[in-house]
Structure 1
């Protein structure tokens, strides 16, 4: 810092008689600009003892406010245990509030822990769904799972939005864990003539056969279709058939009791059936937001997910809703 003109009266000023602008300059340099007292003294052209008096006077006059807060305990682990017990989950991971931060960066470490706990080995199958939350998680580090086969649970080669391009999400997750991607070369809902051809094709069967023996899955739980501005193209957002839907997994919507809802063309979906998710030992649901509370509860109670990764506000809302029921 370059020295300024020495304040000739600073060293001689009696306590409480320093000019307010001098108090402010000293306080700003020390508290906001990380200057030490020697640097402040040099910049103001005074001595270190005077700087000490300047800082004390700045506090006394209210120019500087110092607040000491007692550290708050981390409630996330305790909340996760409470929620897991209340809902009968195998395990529940609760992260700090997502807030305005990117969902993926907040949830990814917890998803990595969940995958580590699943005990996957080379050759085991890990399934991944589509959706904005899973897509966000796929952009961040997870955990090392060398040789694990990573496969999508729904087609999506014709989806215009990146959130529902399941092969790309599969590739990203495989890269994060050191796994081997298994691509599904099919739209989520092919036409009536194409559907039987695709479902019997060996490249499709290579993936769908993994659905029956998967040991883990990362499953995005979608909000009610009627509340969303972004949907996979196969879901008719304004359809009366989905008016009672509280959420969806694998592009398959369900009601508050977890009962799958049919809609035009749903018989042609190339997507894992909800009831088949119950066979997966570590079915990890990922979701945040008050709008998803009903969908998460229904998915857990129906057995579609056995584990959950969510944030603190959502976990608190889930716990309150479960205790009311």
Structure 2
């Protein structure tokens, strides 16, 4: 390859980056590289002809948009966001994709002075980790909606850590912790734990929340490490058996959306009846093994916004009877 060819290719790459990656128009590029604007147009066409620039149309977005509309209409949701994933992609890859999209949506919904409640888990942690510092929103209060793990759950997945992380990304914002386990042995101990001033402040915020963001548990994931790290030794696995398909904030329900109210009256967490009064309730969940749990949650009308993957949305449609 001659020196001229190398220089020409480098010029085409530079101009293509300025146009397609940096978003500059042809007039701006012309001024920056000192080439006439009409020549810029010709060079961009040449870059495409040589294969330096490849334009790809992803038709999966259309299919995902259709699934979004179907779920939104069928379950009367404020919003259903179905995110396209690559065929054959792993759960870990899909989780990252869903978390990235979900974080963008959450950042659009936050507003100054709002009160935000968070649950726990890997999905929620992935989402919150994707949120970048926002200077245009301030004075947000973030609180956990559930007590802490009984087992050895990774601290990054715990609600107390996630509310702190969210507040740190928002200007002049604060977070509160709930220093109590998710399940206790008796009502007297529950009342004692909730009597502290800090706990009382959190409970007061529960009645004022503007946004709730939570994951969805499934009876099909009780053997994974994250689930066991939260519930090990609580007996909750038994509650997720029989007709029970999932849980939200450690409150189990069936695929028809019926709550199992008999399980653990000494739960430390926001009751689903109260959750349903919050104006914006965002459920983030992905994985075909969560399809029945998500379907039950939608029938329960716990979320009014669902964020999931296309694979999961298709599995939910199959589960509808």
- 1:247 equivalent to 2:226? Answer no
CA contact (8 A) 1:128 1:151 kept: yes
Alignment equivalent of 2:166, drawn from 170, 173, 188: 173
Structure 1 or 2: more helix by fraction: 2
| CA 1:177–1:293: 2 relative to 1, 3 Å | farther
User: What is the Cα-based RMSD across aligned positions, in Å?
Assistant: 2.9
CA contact (8 A) 2:286 2:309 kept: yes
TM-score, normalising length: structure 1: 0.70
CA contact (8 A) 2:95 2:286 kept: no
| CA 1:131–1:269: 2 relative to 1, 3 Å | same
Alignment equivalent of 1:284, drawn from 282, 285, 289: 282
Query: What secondary structure, in the 3-state scheme, does the structure 1 residue paired with 2:306 have?
Result: strand
| CA 1:236–1:157: 2 relative to 1, 3 Å | closer
- 1:275 equivalent to 2:273? Answer yes
1:192-239 deviation per Cα after TM superposition (whole angstroms, max 9, x unaligned):
242111122221110111111211111100111664322322652542
Following superposition, the deviation at residue 158 of structure 1 comes to 5.0
The structure number with the bigger radius of gyration is 1
Query: What secondary structure, in the 3-state scheme, does the structure 1 residue paired with 2:273 have?
Result: helix
Q: Which residue of 2 aligns with 1:314?
A: 312
Q: Which residue of 2 aligns with 1:301?
A: 299
| CA 1:77–1:187: 2 relative to 1, 3 Å | same
Q: Which residue of 2 aligns with 1:257?
A: 256
- Structure 2 unaligned blocks of 5 or more: 7-53
1:250-297 deviation per Cα after TM superposition (whole angstroms, max 9, x unaligned):
122211122222566x11111111121110111000100111111111
CA contact (8 A) 2:176 2:202 kept: yes
In 1, Cα distance between equivalents of 2:208 and 2:193: 21
Q: How many residues are paired up?
A: 260
Q: Which residue of 1 aligns with 2:65?
A: 77
Structure 1 runs of 4+ aligned residues shifted over 6 Å read none
1:140-186 deviation per Cα after TM superposition (whole angstroms, max 9, x unaligned):
22573421111111010654112652211221222234431111111
| CA 1:225–1:289: 2 relative to 1, 3 Å | closer
